[in-house]
Structure 1
Amino acid sequence: MKKVKCCLLIFIVTIILNGCQGKPVEVFSIEKLDADIAHWSSEKYQGREAGTKGNFDARDEIANQFKQIGLEPLQTKDYFMPFTMVFNDPKAIQTNLVVHLKNGETKDFTYGEDWLKRISSGIDVELPILLADNEREISPEESNQHIVVTEKQIMDEVRVQFVKTDSFRKTLSDYGGDSSIFQISESFYTYLKTNEKDIDKIHMNYYDAPFKQITTHNVVGKIPGNEDNVGKQAIVISAHFDHVGTAGESTFLGSVDNATGLTGVMNLASILKKDSKEKSFSSDILFVAFNAEENGLTGSTAFVEEIASEYDSIININLDCIGIKDGGKISFVGETMGSSNLNELLNKIAVNQEVESTSDLEEFSTMRSDHVSFLRNNFQAINISQERYDKIHTTEDTPAYTDSKPLKSAIEIVQAFVNNYHNTKFEKVENSVTTLDNFDEATYKNGMRLGEYKMVSTSGVNRLVINLDRDLTPSEVEDIQSAFTDTSYELIESQFKYELRNLEYYNTLSRNTVTDGEVYELKESDYEYANTHLTVQKENKNYFISTFKGEVGIEEGSIDIETIDGWKLLSHNDPSTNEKAFTTAISTINVDNEVYSVLIQNYDENAGKSFDTYTKEELVQLIDGFNQELAIQQIIKMTN
């Protein structure tokens, strides 16, 4: 979870209200909640970073507990909902830092213990150090010729900067432009300051592991509703179970963020399952452990896209960072358009249960948690958190930083909400505020060429629009079409997609581009080819093909996989037919000494939704009629 906080606090006066009484929660102890939080944030799960073994182990344990509770799977028999994401293996990064003294001696410093990346796209330097007062201006010459060591981060561009940090903070979405900034421990800072005159230079390198696309999962269980009163509606109770993993030998346990929220969801699943045996709910109650929240809400975004068409209405109550020692009151967090109704109902229950709470509703949510994925699709959603959570993403976020009392209160509030309002119809929120993630970007890109960008303003929200796509020319389409030896497959859509070389440059452009209607142009060196998106059609059925450099990672055993002629075919059991439904075929090949991957799937990245699954025979026919090596060779020629 990330938050830029600007709260309007509302003190809830404790009074007795008519209605909203709810059924008292089954007694469960603070000690049990403490034990659950300690379990989910134990060393066993190694910080639960999406794509790592610890994350997969946590995923499997969540599914096992859903089964023991008696929840039904939503789609597949194993409670998993797969999605793809970009993964950077924390165990494969290159790190080295050696201080060279003038007397010839050297001293090594350890990544994760003495220093940690804040932002960097990769660096390998040998430079002397410059201890700088934060009041002093650093000249460009000094910046380029030194590693600048400071007590506070310098906002101007500095080539390499070491910043003294009391407690290292790790995130998974910070990339450097031309600057590299590293956090250093107080002891390392003191060493550099004490020995400044004796230090000749520092040799350091830092490189992330190559990014690769992997398949990972959200975990979803269901208490089915009777649909008597409200039609097909889902109340989604969620929390993300991933965290930021490790750095060197240091583990970021993530007890508050978000073993607390996961503990809440697991206990609510058990409590509400028992409630449903006494009286069935009128809505489906979905319990979702989201993955890859720390990677930009990737899991919840995929989930909402997947289920949006399956329900007439959906609401979301998300638990993130709830159960914090000295964290203040319970806080209901969201947006004025999409969260006000839920905020009012939850606050009424809080008042009735004599729980003090605050409301933090903004026009555009600056709290980046999974409820935002629902808001962006105009579903009512809200997050339950607390006022303060200053130690998240640090190694200090341990069970000692938690307090289960506010978590227990939040569980009681959500249980009462479900029992009170499961038979209330919750409509979608139309005309929600246009935000960074929710507007028709294609409209604004119309007429823009590859590499052009501009700032647009809609409903008071500024958005940087960069066109990093280009359609293939007619001659390029002909060349790609020639790779389909079975001519019954017609190439109906084709795009090359590019990405910024340094993702932090997006933030730089956002800060420096004015909303004046002008169109600006990136340098070609600012972006690079990322992948190719092709849509082919046969007999009115579409196949979506993506090609890119690098490997696709698949967790063996997580879904059904068959291998045919080097292709891995992914499937799940379709409960309506009790037959296998195939969604994806993956191949990895070597072309010109480079590894490339080819994906055939039923998910259209441009439309953001899945279409009909395939039979095994349909995928095999396409594979047999597609010369993937020739296609890759043509793409290399076109994009170089």
Structure 2
Amino acid sequence: MKKMVHFIHTILILTMMTSCAQQDKDLHTLESSLTFLTSDECMGRSTGTEGNQLAASYIADQYKTFELDTYNDQYYHHYKQSTYDPATATQELTVFYKDGTQKSYVYGLDFLGSMIEDTSVKTQITTDIHDLDDKIIIVDEHTPAFNFRQSNAVGRFKKTDVLFKSNHVRSDDKFSVEITNTLYDDLMSKDVDYVTYKDNVSTEEKEVNNVIGILKGKDSTHALVLSAHFDHVGFAGDTIFRGAIDNASGVAILLELAERLKKRSLEEPFDMDIVFAALNGEEYGLMGSKAFVPSIKEHYHFLYNINMDCIGKKDGGDLAVNSQREELLLNKKLQEALFNHFSESDIPVTDQFYGLSDHYSFNRMNVPGVTIGQGEVFGENDTTSIHTPEDTVDIVDYDYMNRVVDVLYDFIIHHDGNMFRRHEDVSLSVTGARWIERNLLHPLTA
């Protein structure tokens, strides 16, 4: 009997150990990270929201599990930025028809406008670019080219297959609203008397967080900063913009690298520190990285940055190694090394500009840095698009993400101690930096 009890007890222990090991393994997979970050609880992770803070807490908990060192005695790097609350930011659009009927359309489902403070209009619509005075122009694929910004139109309704959302709040005298095919058909097939449109949005400054963990190396005057932004564009009405590719994918890769590199360091420490930076506020114009880079530069003599943004989209095209101001050669050595490493690993890679990301905050302070991300993420060639409700875990290629993780892991080990820096000092000109910020960080919603 005792032998039987001992046998059963042993089986129970082994079962519990297997279960715990499986739970521990499942906790840190790319899929589990993406599932949580795109969940209803995170609500699109817009900076300053409860969902954004839940995402930050999740990342900090992973750092703690991996036993990474803290940054300034905690995993949170606090900074302040202007934000808006998606729960109170609403838009109203009602169409009044000549037969005396009216219909109010659903924000986030039927239409989605660029957010402009204090917008309220009651006016007629037109499809004629020569009849724009104080009207809303309806734009589709057949509309002739014209200068909307310099026209007399008060606003624009643009037909689209899927709604695209931005987090930029503007003070402007013109608004642009994306409308679905259903709303477009209503406007085109019925006699419209006038429409009313109202934008209810206001901003406030909040203290928010980047989430930073550090893997200490032999020389803590040098560091590689691996980064990925964890914020996204939140929600509009009942529609959640989950941001699986943009950029839960980059955060999942960041966490996977943190776990694997930490385990590798237990065999032998790396020659330099590795900083894991989950950055906030990217969708507001790189606000988190703008606040973080001056701070991290005070801790190290030399840095370089690899930023991960939008990786693993099934129809996302080849991987791009993206940098800014290449004529200054600030990132040439790093870019060439990454190109060679990915090419040798049989992952197609290209040099193309597909948008600005947090590496620019490093570049503007004379720190080498590039973003790795796929080149077709904005719906090119009739593919799915980020910043739309399409960006869910359904469009994620986990095998591709794992391959990228493997290559980056190998690259970091192979190039441990290399700073990829120029001998002479290079910095962006004030004029060049201002042009990029004015034209690329705050683009007008199309």
Report the TM-score, using the length of structure 1 for normalisation. 0.59
- 8 Å CA contact retained: 2:48, 2:206: yes
The one-letter amino acid paired with 2:242 is L
The equivalent residue for 1:322 is 311
CA 1:465 to 1:184, structure 2 compared with 1: closer, same or farther past 3 Å?
A: closer
The one-letter amino acid paired with 2:234 is G
Tell me how far 1:174 sits from its aligned partner: 5.6
The equivalent residue for 1:491 is none
- 8 Å CA contact retained: 2:90, 2:236: no
Tell me how far 1:232 sits from its aligned partner: 0.8
Using the alignment, how far apart are the partners of 1:201 and 1:264 within structure 2?
50
The equivalent residue for 2:412 is 418
Using the alignment, how far apart are the partners of 1:257 and 1:269 within structure 2?
20
The equivalent residue for 1:265 is 254
Tell me how far 1:356 sits from its aligned partner: 2.4
CA 1:464 to 1:290, structure 2 compared with 1: closer, same or farther past 3 Å?
A: closer
Pair 1:225-2:217 in alignment: yes
Using the alignment, how far apart are the partners of 2:194 and 2:53 within structure 1?
42
Instruction: Give the secondary-structure state (helix, strand or coil) at the position aligned to 2:377.
Output: coil
The equivalent residue for 1:489 is none
Pair 1:178-2:168 in alignment: no
The equivalent residue for 1:622 is none
* CA deviations over 1:140-178 (Å, ceiling 9, x no partner): xx431x332221575333212211111111111263632
- 8 Å CA contact retained: 1:380, 1:429: no
The equivalent residue for 1:382 is 370
CA 1:433 to 1:155, structure 2 compared with 1: closer, same or farther past 3 Å?
A: farther
Unaligned runs of 5+ in 1: 1-27, 440-456, 467-502, 509-640
The equivalent residue for 1:240 is 229
The equivalent residue for 1:338 is 330
- 8 Å CA contact retained: 1:172, 1:294: yes
The equivalent residue for 1:59 is 56
Using the alignment, how far apart are the partners of 2:301 and 2:45 within structure 1?
34
The higher relative CO (CA closer than 8 Å, separation ≥ 6) is in: 2
Tell me how far 1:309 sits from its aligned partner: 1.9
CA 1:161 to 1:213, structure 2 compared with 1: closer, same or farther past 3 Å?
A: same
- 8 Å CA contact retained: 2:115, 2:199: no
Pair 1:43-2:37 in alignment: no
Tell me how far 1:117 sits from its aligned partner: 0.8
- 8 Å CA contact retained: 2:366, 2:428: no
Write out aligned runs for 1:248-263 (5 A): 248-263=237-252
Using the alignment, how far apart are the partners of 2:261 and 2:196 within structure 1?
57
Pair 1:106-2:102 in alignment: yes
Using the alignment, how far apart are the partners of 2:244 and 2:364 within structure 1?
28
Alignment equivalent of 1:143, drawn from 133, 148, 151: 133
Tell me how far 1:380 sits from its aligned partner: 1.1
Using the alignment, how far apart are the partners of 1:241 and 1:464 within structure 2?
23
Tell me how far 1:44 sits from its aligned partner: 1.9
CA 1:370 to 1:462, structure 2 compared with 1: closer, same or farther past 3 Å?
A: closer
Pair 1:33-2:30 in alignment: yes
Using the alignment, how far apart are the partners of 1:103 and 1:59 within structure 2?
52
CA 1:429 to 1:376, structure 2 compared with 1: closer, same or farther past 3 Å?
A: farther
* CA deviations over 1:507-561 (Å, ceiling 9, x no partner): 89xxxxxxxxxxxxxxxxxxxxxxxxxxxxxxxxxxxxxxxxxxxxxxxxxxxxx
Alignment equivalent of 1:202, drawn from 182, 195, 200: 195
The one-letter amino acid paired with 1:39 is F
- 8 Å CA contact retained: 1:120, 1:181: no
Write out aligned runs for 1:578-617 (5 A): none
Tell me how far 1:120 sits from its aligned partner: 3.4
- 8 Å CA contact retained: 2:245, 2:310: yes
* CA deviations over 1:94-118 (Å, ceiling 9, x no partner): 4222222334322111111111113
The one-letter amino acid paired with 2:215 is I
Alignment equivalent of 2:350, drawn from 335, 348, 358: 358
Using the alignment, how far apart are the partners of 2:337 and 2:265 within structure 1?
21
Instruction: Give the secondary-structure state (helix, strand or coil) at the position aligned to 1:409.
Output: helix
Using the alignment, how far apart are the partners of 2:95 and 2:317 within structure 1?
43
CA 1:352 to 1:151, structure 2 compared with 1: closer, same or farther past 3 Å?
A: closer
CA 1:100 to 1:354, structure 2 compared with 1: closer, same or farther past 3 Å?
A: closer
Instruction: Give the secondary-structure state (helix, strand or coil) at the position aligned to 1:112.
Output: coil
Higher strand share goes to which structure? 1
The equivalent residue for 1:297 is 286
CA 1:375 to 1:119, structure 2 compared with 1: closer, same or farther past 3 Å?
A: same
The equivalent residue for 1:126 is 122
- 8 Å CA contact retained: 1:338, 1:429: no
Write out aligned runs for 1:485-634 (5 A): none
- 8 Å CA contact retained: 1:315, 1:381: yes
The equivalent residue for 1:96 is 92
Instruction: Give the secondary-structure state (helix, strand or coil) at the position aligned to 2:130.
Output: coil
Unaligned runs of 5+ in 2: 1-24, 379-384
Pair 1:400-2:394 in alignment: yes
- 8 Å CA contact retained: 1:220, 1:289: yes
* CA deviations over 1:556-608 (Å, ceiling 9, x no partner): xxxxxxxxxxxxxxxxxxxxxxxxxxxxxxxxxxxxxxxxxxxxxxxxxxxxx
* CA deviations over 1:302-344 (Å, ceiling 9, x no partner): 1101111211100111110011112222221114322211122
CA 1:103 to 1:357, structure 2 compared with 1: closer, same or farther past 3 Å?
A: closer
Higher mean C-alpha deviation, range 35-44 or range 319-328: 35-44
- 8 Å CA contact retained: 2:241, 2:391: yes
Report the TM-score, using the length of structure 2 for normalisation. 0.84
- 8 Å CA contact retained: 2:366, 2:427: no
Write out aligned runs for 1:424-503 (5 A): 424-427=418-421, 430-432=424-426, 434-435=428-429, 439=430, 463=435
Tell me how far 1:462 sits from its aligned partner: 8.0
Using the alignment, how far apart are the partners of 2:292 and 2:115 within structure 1?
29
Pair 1:167-2:156 in alignment: no
CA 1:372 to 1:464, structure 2 compared with 1: closer, same or farther past 3 Å?
A: closer
The equivalent residue for 2:22 is none
Runs of 4+ in 1 over 6 A off after TM superposition: none
The one-letter amino acid paired with 1:75 is N
Higher helix share goes to which structure? 2
Structure label with greater radius of gyration: 1
The one-letter amino acid paired with 2:281 is A
Pair 1:71-2:59 in alignment: no
- 8 Å CA contact retained: 2:354, 2:375: no
Instruction: Give the secondary-structure state (helix, strand or coil) at the position aligned to 1:171.
Output: coil
Instruction: Give the secondary-structure state (helix, strand or coil) at the position aligned to 1:182.
Output: strand
- 8 Å CA contact retained: 1:164, 1:185: yes
* CA deviations over 1:3-22 (Å, ceiling 9, x no partner): xxxxxxxxxxxxxxxxxxxx
The one-letter amino acid paired with 1:178 is D
Using the alignment, how far apart are the partners of 2:421 and 2:437 within structure 1?
31
CA 1:367 to 1:200, structure 2 compared with 1: closer, same or farther past 3 Å?
A: closer
The one-letter amino acid paired with 1:48 is R
What RMSD, in angstroms, separates the aligned Cα atoms of the two structures?
Answer: 2.7
The equivalent residue for 2:358 is 370
* CA deviations over 1:120-152 (Å, ceiling 9, x no partner): 34321222322x1xxx4323xx431x3322215
Identity %: 30
* CA deviations over 1:80-101 (Å, ceiling 9, x no partner): 0000000111222242222223
